[in-house]
Amino acid sequence: MGTDTGVVARLDETVAAIRSKVHVTPHIGVVLGSGLGAFADTLDDLVKLPFDTIPHLPASRVLGHAGNLCFGTIDDIHVVCMQGRVHAYEGHPMWQVVHGVRAMARLGVSSVLITNAAGGLEPSWSAGDFMIVSDHLNLMHRHPLVGPNEDALGTRFPDMTHAYDRKLRGTLREVSQREGVALREGVYAALLGPSFETPAEIRMLRALGAHAVGMSTVPEVIALRHMRTRVAALSCITNMAAGMSDGELHHEDVEQIANARRADLERLLRAWVVAAGPLSI
Ligand code: HPA
C-alpha cells in the first residue's frame, strides 16, 4: 500500500542520482539550519551537490540557507550534511520538506543531528545559547506522514516516546563539557510560520511547556523516526521570543547571532560526529 503517492519511487530516484555522483555510504547525517550552514564547508574531502541538481530536492529560497547536500569526512567518519533545508512555510508539500532527511536515511546513515535557529522562552536564557531538544510540540498543523502509509519506510503509527535518542543526547552533553560549550535542554515547539509569534502566542507556548520555538525540525524528526533512524536535535537560541525582550524580531538578527556562534557550533558538531560516528558504524 502507499506506492500510489510516489514517495518511495521519488526517493529511489533521488538516492540513485546521489549514488551516481558519490560512492560512499555516509554514517552520520547533519541538517544545518538558518545561519548554521558553514560547518559543511569544514568537512574533509568535501563534495557538494546543490539541491537543484538532485531530483525532487527544491532549492531553499530562505536567506542563510545555501541549499547543498554536502558529503565529506571527519576523522574518517563519513558525513552527509544538508546545508540549508526546505520549510513548510515556503509552500512545499510535506513530503518535500522531509525528502532530504529521508534520502539521508536511505543512503544508510544511522544517526542524524538536526540543527535549527529558535526563539528562547526561558527568561533566564540569552540569545546565543545552545539547547539540546529533549522533546517537541508539533503545532504546525502539518504532518509528514498524512496519507497512505509508506510501508516500505515504516509503520503506520510510529512511536514517539523516545523520539530524541537518549544516547545521542548523552553524547552531545559529554562533548559539550569537554569542549567548554554550555548547553541548555528543553522542549522545542514547532509552528508553521513564516511570521514570528505574537507575545500572546509565546505566553501560550510557555504555558504548554515549551522552552524554544521555531519553524522546522519536527517534520524531519517524525519522518526519520518513521524510518527508525536515530535522531538528536540542537537549537541555537538566536533571539528571545516575541515580547520577552525590547524591540522587534528580524530574520537578519537570527542569522547574525547564528553566525556569531559558528565557531562553537563547529567545535561541538565535530566532536559529536567523532564521538557518535563509531556508534553508527
Ligand atoms: N520564532 C520562530 N522561529 C524562530 C525564532 C522565533 O523567535 N527565532 C529563530 N527562528
CA distance 62 to 51: 13
At residue 184, the pLDDT reads 98
pTM of structure: 0.95
2: confidence class by pLDDT, cuts 50, 70, 90: very low
DSSP per residue, 168-237: HHHHHHHHHHHHT--EEEEEEEEE--SSPPPHHHHHHHHHTT-SEEESSSHHHHHHHHHTT-EEEEEEEE
- Which residues form the pocket of ligand 1, taking CB atoms under 6 Å from any ligand atom? 117-119, 196-197, 213-215, 238-239, 241, 249, 254
41's torsion region: left (phi>0), alpha (psi -120 to 50) or beta?
alpha
Per-residue pLDDT of 210-246, as tens digits, reads 999 999 999 999 999 999 999 999 999 999 999 998 8
Grid coordinates belonging to 246: 525590547
Q: What does the pLDDT average to over 142-159?
A: 96
Q: Average of pLDDT values for 1-18?
A: 82
Res 60: pLDDT: 66
Q: Work out the percent of the chain whose per-residue pLDDT is above 70.
A: 95
Report which of 55, 242, 80, 271 is spatially closest to residue 180, judged by C-alpha positions: 271
pLDDT over 90 (residue 203) = yes
Does residue 66 have a pLDDT over 50? yes
Per-residue confidence band for 63, with pLDDT thresholds at 50, 70 and 90: low
Q: Which residue among 195, 196, 237, 259 is best mutated to probe the pocket of ligand 1, counting the most ligand atoms within 8 A of its Cβ?
A: 196
Distance from Cα 241 to the centre of ligand 1, integer Å: 7
The answer to whether residue 22 scores a pLDDT higher than 90 is yes
Question: How many A from CA of 217 to the centre of ligand 1?
Answer: 12
What pLDDT was estimated at residue 277?
A: 80
Mean pLDDT (the chain, rounded) = 93
8 has pLDDT over 90 = yes
Question: What percent helix, strand, coil does the chain show, rounded to 5?
Answer: 35, 25, 40
Reported as a pLDDT band with limits 50, 70 and 90, residue 3 is very low
Is 278 a residue whose pLDDT tops 80?
Answer: no
Contacts of residue 242, defined as CB under 8 A and 6 or more positions apart, other chains included, come to 119, 196, 197, 198, 199, 201, 202, 249
Confidence at residue 68, expressed as pLDDT on a 0 to 100 scale: 93
Count Cβ atoms below 10 Å from residue 149 Cβ, excluding itself: 17
Higher pLDDT, 250 or 224: 224
pLDDT in tens, 254-276: 889 988 888 999 999 999 999 98
